[in-house]
Amino acid sequence: MGALVNGFGGKISGELIRASDWNGMLAAVEALVAGVQAAIEARLEPLEDTVEDLGTRVTTLEGSITDLTNVAATLRAHYRRMNLTASSPRFVLGQRGEITANVTSFDGTALDLTNPATRPWVDFVTVWGTLVAAPGFVSRSGTGGRTVAVQVNASGQAKVLLQADHAAEFSEAEHGQMESALATRVPIGNQEMSIGEAILAGATPASSNVQPAFRAMTRAYTAGGNNITQRYLDTYYVRSPARVAPQLGLGTTTWTDYLVTVFAFVKPDGDPVSPDGAMAIGSIQVTFRDWVRHWIVDDFFVDLSGLVTEYRGILPGLIHTDMRVSVDGVMDEIDRRVRGGGILGGQRELAAANDAVRSTRVQNAPDFFDDAIEALSGGIAVQRAVTFGEAVTPRAGTSAQSGRAVSGSTVKATGEAARVGIQLTKQFQTALGDASKNLRDQVKADQQVFRADLLRDDGPIVSVQKEARDVRGALETVNRALVGKADLQFVTDFVRRTG
């Protein structure tokens, strides 16, 4: 037990406390208090030095905290927090990716954006495609479409639309129509998917779920009226014809996906001469699938049998008795079918027409039929070759004048060759007749000259006649001598004289 209990405890009820007991207890308490005080003082002496050091350090920290508070206030006043989100991580050409920048204060609280003049701006930059501000936002577009500056709205948002390079000139309404075409539902197996979804779901361009989507786009392209799909796909081809050139050996067995990075920078205002730096920086990546080149190569130009069959049914009725009329009639029909069908559609029609012309057979064909086929084939081939040039040449139109000129020239050349042949034949026959007459006249003249030469006085015939007369006279002399029984000397002299 304690000293107080041992010395002054043990009292029972009714027992008196004597003065000595009370005084002794107080003395013991005082002694205990003094001991405790001495112990505390002994411990406090080293703490006083520590407290003095802590006081100095606290004073220093108070100054640092003041500085940090000022820095924090500066950061909160100048810098912002920005989060970038995309409407989807993957898109197909023809769709537009929506990129949203949410701008808040540095600590994430909402900004006071009631005054439009003080709302910050966001500069968006892309490495591929073109950017336009979403409808309803104040913006300024940069040259080339790679950048756009957008002012945040009252909710602290700035939105842009990312689209393909070749589609920069299309209007908002036209983009909407193209996106609607890609949203068309098509049966894929036992379910329905949009064309865009089917293309994104296909592992390769040859996947079974991609083919119905491609066929649906072919129907959309060949539909009449104000065909935005046709213009969109033709623009892709005109801008990048090398992508669909088979002679370049570009493989079409795998998709062409573009991984696109979009950067965003928050700035206090839209003043280009303002010295304010960036208040927040961010980036985001999305993917665009280029399906157009695969659709052109793997679907649109693959099966032309239907068009070839149509041409085969039309062409025989256009072959008449005149070659020029026949060729012009066929070229007129091709031109009618090509006109308004788009650049790619025109190429497709011309390819089918050429196949049909080469394989069409006509009963009781005129003599010029093979020549007409050659003229048509040459004209169609030239028209296919110049179609791209006409598409990019101002005011050139999409007429078939080039092909018509070639086929017409061929017809003209064939007709001219026949005319020249007939003319040359007539000229040859005339010249041959003249030459034969001249030859006969010359022979007659030569015969007369020869006869005159033979019959002249000193000519061979007269000379022979004279010699014959001389011989005849000599023979008569011999005969008389023989009859007169001339001697042998006379015969010898005669032989020598005549020998």
Same domain, 322 and 413: yes
Same domain, 309 and 167: no
- Residue 254 makes CB contacts below 8 A (sequence gap 6+) with 204, 205
Same domain, 132 and 227: yes
**What is the C-alpha separation between 214 and 206, in angstroms, rounded?**
10
Half-sphere exposure of 132 (CA within 13 A, CB side): 14
| Contact (CB, 8 A) for 261 and 284 | yes
- Residue 21 makes CB contacts below 8 A (sequence gap 6+) with 8
**What is the C-alpha separation between 486 and 479, in angstroms, rounded?**
10
- Residue 3 makes CB contacts below 8 A (sequence gap 6+) with 28, 32
Q: What is the pLDDT of residues 389-422, one digit of tens each?
A: 776 666 555 555 554 444 445 445 444 444 444 4
Assigned token pair, 304: 């032309």
User: Domain boundary at 298, 326, 354, which?
Assistant: 298
The number of distinct structural domains making up the chain is 4
Residue 274: predicted pLDDT? 74
Q: Which domain holds residue 69?
A: 3-75
Q: What is the pTM for the complete model shown?
A: 0.66
Residue with tokens 């007709």: 415
User: Domain boundary at 366, 387, 419, which?
Assistant: 419
Q: Does the residue 440 lie in any domain?
A: no
Same domain, 141 and 272: yes
Q: Does the residue 108 lie in any domain?
A: yes
List beta partners, residue 259.
Answer: 287
Same domain, 199 and 277: yes
Same domain, 212 and 267: yes
Query: What average pLDDT does the segment 232-258 reach?
Result: 79
Assigned token pair, 34: 């003094």
Query: What average pLDDT does the segment 472-498 reach?
Result: 55
210 CB-contact burial (10 Å; exposed 0-12 / middle 13-18 / buried 19+):
buried
Q: Which of 96-100, 119-123, 187-191 has the lowest mean pLDDT?
A: 187-191
164 CB-contact burial (10 Å; exposed 0-12 / middle 13-18 / buried 19+):
buried
List beta partners, residue 102.
Answer: 83, 157
**What is the C-alpha separation between 34 and 40, in angstroms, rounded?**
10
Same domain, 399 and 492: no
Q: Does the residue 441 lie in any domain?
A: no
Q: What is the pLDDT of residues 315-352, one digit of tens each?
A: 888 887 888 888 888 888 888 888 888 889 988 988 88
User: Domain boundary at 298, 326, 342, which?
Assistant: 298
Q: Does the residue 449 lie in any domain?
A: no
Same domain, 325 and 471: no
Residue with tokens 């069908």: 341
**What is the C-alpha separation between 88 and 288, in angstroms, rounded?**
11
pLDDT surpasses 70 at 469 = no
Percentage with pLDDT > 90 across the chain: 31
Q: What is the pLDDT of residues 51-76, one digit of tens each?
A: 666 777 777 776 667 766 676 666 67
**What is the C-alpha separation between 48 and 46, in angstroms, rounded?**
5
